Amino acid sequence: MSHAGDCIFLRGIEVSACHGVLAEERTRPQRFVIDAEVWLETDDYGRSDDYRRAVCYGAILDTIVEVAGGPHKSLVEALALAIVDALLRRFQPIDAVRITIHKPEAPLRGKFADVGVSLMRRRSVRR
């Protein structure tokens, strides 16, 4: 991994989608809240102030919303991995990604403040 100390983050991305193990979760959309952190080296485009060479926050957001709104996943972990894979595939400058998916309306018995998963993956192939 290169510099990897620079991080772009998007927090609180809300998506309504049908993901989960239960039959009702396959047909009834529920709210997912997604946080993304991507590590990359920003010195090159940051010093030149050149937007054309930057990784666009909006493009990251669009990718996350597209994948999260896509085909049903039984496991939130599978959804997080699909988002990570899409970000690493679409944005070559990204060295590592952390995706956290909150499922605040998960159909669980009992009272809870939050439930979800957080996955971090690094690009395995050096550029």
Any idea which residues carry the catalytic annotation?
Answer: 103
Distance, first Cα to last Cα, the chain = 9
Q: Do the beta carbons of residue 60 and residue 91 sit within 8 Å?
A: yes
Q: Which residues contact 110 (CB under 8 A, 6 or more apart)?
A: none
Distance between CA 45 and CA 54 in Å, rounded? 6
